[in-house]
Structure 1
């Protein structure tokens, strides 16, 4: 059964009426083409009105939609071949962080991303997309491997944050993320980072230092989630909507503030409504971005990467 967010329900009601109208027309051999076309236009207009006026909190909800494509969905839809690589060679294999070599139109990439689960069993296996230190160390190992073989890197970011458990802290969660951030600045190969869902705190930043950082239209990127911000400021989650507005965490906000390099459009209503269109749009942008980055010498790319992130947060 399709999951509906509150603001999607009026659209779903009209779509249900359209289906019922067409069904009755077939059963009674009645021509309803004109009425159906009118209703389809009404549905399209309502979609455009609804999704062009979403609040920041509604964008957050859309980024978390359970039917939204995850990292493996993008890999399956844009890669002609993919070989997954496991383990950090120290502790074990973190299922919340996945990666491997993928071929897209005869170009081999190292693709790394956070992976969530669709059901309870998968969510437990993937730890709700919250990596442990070994996940970030695996990611860095794969990045170094890509650099060794001269392959560009793509990272897909979709996490509510790095895992905050005691055992993660004991194994060096902060150090692992900090090392990734430091070493990603110096990678000689092109690095393209795409936020495909949630981009929360250092958990996202640990694989998000790139030559180009892009956000899908209905995603968010922030130092803290609206719920946790509300809890700190108001001691309750009840002000999460106000927190989302204050954080200015949408793709549009991030782009206007110069914190990301571009916004990738989604199908009307969200990426979860059309996997094929959403993933092919991402594929096109990735290949165009790589072509642009390949024209920049590696040393120049590194200097630009450092300069770009060095400017963030500076007020003149």
Structure 2
């Protein structure tokens, strides 16, 4: 994990304690003539066993917590590991630039694509700059500007999703955030280039869907995609955000449930312990998946994407008379 400060969730504490013991032993082995090989091997074995115990049967709420892990790779971390020549473009040509959503052309193994990505921050300063990953209407209009450019030049669109939701502030409402998202839904439905959406962390409500009307919707193993955050749902149904864990279970928002419901098309596995434990492996998994999906979508004839996209979304959900 590239992050220098190891932070952990409550259910990860046993694992973190063992890793600290291993660090101490490794340091002692380096600084002295004593041989700690057997002790090191024993702790490494215990760490692997603990990983399996901790992560083998996570609850929906624990997966939500992992999707928000402070050391999880964010969009820029993945972009620089997956793509080359990424050139960020700014502004919606209407109001201003939105730092919660970035985008621009890049190359994926030599193929030119348009990357759209939602971006959070790792500290208070970055979060204020990135608006905690909550795009304003100008973010969605910037994304639409870039996607129209991609459609005009025949570039596949790759969207990385990681947001708790669109920004709900007064300014966003005054600038018509709901209209901006709705226009994106309409326009993305009709683009005649391949579109791949990947949920890498949080996929919250219309904030995520505004850049996720895609031919293929992928999700990382410990990410979530939902009509509302667990806390928001708990506040509505139980009048208390403390019931977020109950809400997470009821919402069926984790990757396996979403695959069963046909909301996502594929789950991408994360390294043992989660994406935050190895950014490079996570990026390589994503890259291989994107290349495979683009190869499949290259078989679709221009002029057929809109109809296939329509059929895909019409199949979602179950209805009874």
How does the TM-score come out when normalised to structure 1? 0.97
Match of 2:102 in 1: 98
Match of 1:188 in 2: 192
In the alignment, structure 1 residue 65 sits paired with structure 2 residue 69: yes
In 2, distance between residues paired with 1:19 and 1:306? Answer: 53
Shift of 1:139: 0.4
User: Alignment length, in residue pairs?
Assistant: 316
In 2, distance between residues paired with 1:25 and 1:124? Answer: 43
Shift of 1:92: 1.0
User: Structure 1 regions of 5+ residues with no counterpart?
Assistant: none
Match of 2:6 in 1: 2
Per-residue Cα deviation, 1:280-312 (whole angstroms, up to 9, x for no partner): 111111111100100111333322211111122
Match of 2:263 in 1: 259
Among 284, 299, 305, the alignment partner of 1:280 is: 284
User: Structure 2 regions of 5+ residues with no counterpart?
Assistant: none
Q: Are the counterparts in 1 of residues 97 and 139 from structure 2 also a CA contact under 8 Å?
A: yes
Among 169, 173, 176, the alignment partner of 2:177 is: 173
In 1, distance between residues paired with 2:289 and 2:73? Answer: 17
In 2, distance between residues paired with 1:263 and 1:130? Answer: 24
What are the residue-to-residue correspondences of 1:223-262 with 2, within 5 Å? 223-262=227-266
Q: Are the counterparts in 2 of residues 195 and 215 from structure 1 also a CA contact under 8 Å?
A: yes
Shift of 1:270: 1.2
In 1, distance between residues paired with 2:301 and 2:255? Answer: 29
Secondary structure of the structure 1 residue equivalent to 2:86: strand
Match of 1:34 in 2: 38
Secondary structure of the structure 2 residue equivalent to 1:215: strand
Secondary structure of the structure 2 residue equivalent to 1:194: strand
Secondary structure of the structure 2 residue equivalent to 1:98: strand
Q: Are the counterparts in 2 of residues 81 and 104 from structure 1 also a CA contact under 8 Å?
A: no
Shift of 1:26: 4.1
Match of 1:52 in 2: 56
RMSD between superposed Cα atoms in Å: 1.2
